[in-house]
Structures are given as structure tokens and as C-alpha cells.
Amino acid sequence: MTINTTSTARRDHADGALDITTYPADRRFTGPRPAVLVFPGGGYRFHAEHEGEGYARWLSGIGLHAFVLRYPLMTDHRFPAPLEAGRAALDWIRAGEHGLDVGEHVGVIGSSAGGHIAGLLATGTVMSAERLDAAPPRPDFAILAYAVADLHLLPDAPVSFVLDGRMALRDELSPARNIDAATCPTFLWATAEDPPGFPNALAYASALFAADIPVELHIYPHGQHGLGLANGVAYGDHGEIHIPHTARWAENCAAWLSAEGFLAS
């Protein structure tokens, strides 16, 4: 949904049209193609382009339609605004008004804060203050890069910022604490040098395992938080770091998508 970057007043709900950029699958791929809704990271303060456009160009190149959502930020909004935007974007992709031939599967990918929203969608989270007419839309698969999965694993200050001081929401807005049998198969990765990413990835993977949800987890030895593809391709101020071994996560993810039946040759 459109973000008002000039306002400093927080609003309970976002307004306006969805703010989405579309990246169709590379033209060498024909017929129906899976789609992925992309949530860039940025600590709910900005949208990191290397985790938005960078991911979208990679996904397009392996045969998926990618849709980058610039969701409402906590500088101007508060929950459930980002969650509402994610649900609306999923519905919009499946409705087909974009004109692309989307196949059976629509997934999500998110890094850090963007991974938090992706996890909330995957677990079908509905806040206690919300009143929905139907069950919320869920993705068919999720790709989470050093994503926030349990708000209890983060310091109080950033959590208070995200929750607008409503610390009682910590449990209900922690994806790892709300996994159920309908949660989708998930690919997770983080690095051992990333204090928030590592424990959150372990927590989410453990919760998926306990619920018998298919999961693939990769922990790479090197790399800081916010690496994106780790391929050294910069978008704006981010993405310039290249760690070849860690960058293999994208190759491993593509193999997982194929093995799970989400990405045809």
C-alpha cells in the first residue's frame, strides 16, 4: 500500500493502493509459472532494495514471477498494517489482474523484518484485535532469510518500536509460536555470525519440525545480518558484500523449490 514518507504521524491502518513492482519470469520460461511475493528487509524503517529488486531479478532468472511489495513501515504505520498489505498482495497475485500466467503455487520470500511478515502470512496469523470475514490467505511455500521468527529473541527496544510499545503482542506476532498444520513448507537460512538471524532460524526450524512441516535449514559460517544474495551486486547502499560460500544459498534454494515440486524445469 502506498507509503507516505513525508508524514511522521502513525496510523493504525495503511491506505491507498498496493505498492508493488512486478518482475515477470525470464522470457525463456513459457507457460504458467509460480509466483513469489517479495518482502524486503530494513528493520521496518526502510525497504532494502538488494532484498527486493535483487531477489526479484534472481527469481525471474530461475523462472518465477516476482512481485516486490513495499509494505507499510513503522515510521508511519503500526500493526496490523504490514500484515494487511501482505494479505492483500497475495490475493491480488492470485486474482491475476497483473496479467501474468501464474501457475498453482504462490510463495513468499522475506529477509529480516520482511521475513517476519512472510512468516506471519505463512502461519495464518490474525491479531486478536482484528475481525476478518474469512480465513486469511496463506502462501504455498516460504523462503526466509535471517528472518525474525520469535520476538522474544530480540532486545526490548527494537521490539517496542515494531509493536509501537504494545509488548503484550509479542507472542501473537511471533511466527515461531503460531505454527499450525496448515503452515507451508519452508526454506530457511542464516549465518553463524548473525546474532539475530541464527537463533531465529533455529527457533522457526525447530517449531516447523515439531509440527511435522517440511523444512530445509542452512546455516553458513560467515556473513553479517542483511547479506541478501551475498553475491556482491549492490542495489543502492546495500548488497555489495560477496561471500561465495554463503551466496550458494540461492542455488540451494532453487534446488529445494524443484525438489518440493514448486518449480518445474
Query: Tens-digit pLDDT profile for the chain (265 aa)?
Result: 222 222 223 344 445 678 999 999 999 999 999 999 999 999 999 999 999 999 999 999 999 999 999 999 999 999 999 999 999 999 999 999 999 999 999 999 999 999 999 999 999 999 999 999 999 999 999 999 999 999 999 999 999 999 999 999 999 999 999 999 999 999 999 999 999 999 999 999 999 999 999 999 999 999 999 999 999 999 999 999 999 999 999 999 999 999 999 998 6
Distance of alpha carbon 16 from its chain centroid, rounded? 21
Looking at residue 15, its pLDDT comes to 57
Looking at residue 264, its pLDDT comes to 80
Radius of gyration of the chain (CA): 17
Looking at residue 16, its pLDDT comes to 64
Rounded distance between C-alpha atoms, residue 57 and residue 250, angstroms: 12
Q: What is the helix, strand, coil percentage profile of the chain, to 5? A: 30, 20, 50
Looking at residue 197, its pLDDT comes to 98
Looking at residue 27, its pLDDT comes to 95
| Distance (Å) of CA 212 to CA 109, 152, 184 | 21, 23, 11
What phi, psi does 50 have (nearest 5°)?
-70, -20
Q: Rounded to two decimals, what is the model's pTM? A: 0.94
Rounded distance between C-alpha atoms, residue 72 and residue 84, angstroms: 9
Sign of CA dihedral 181, 205, 53, 83: positive
Looking at residue 265, its pLDDT comes to 66
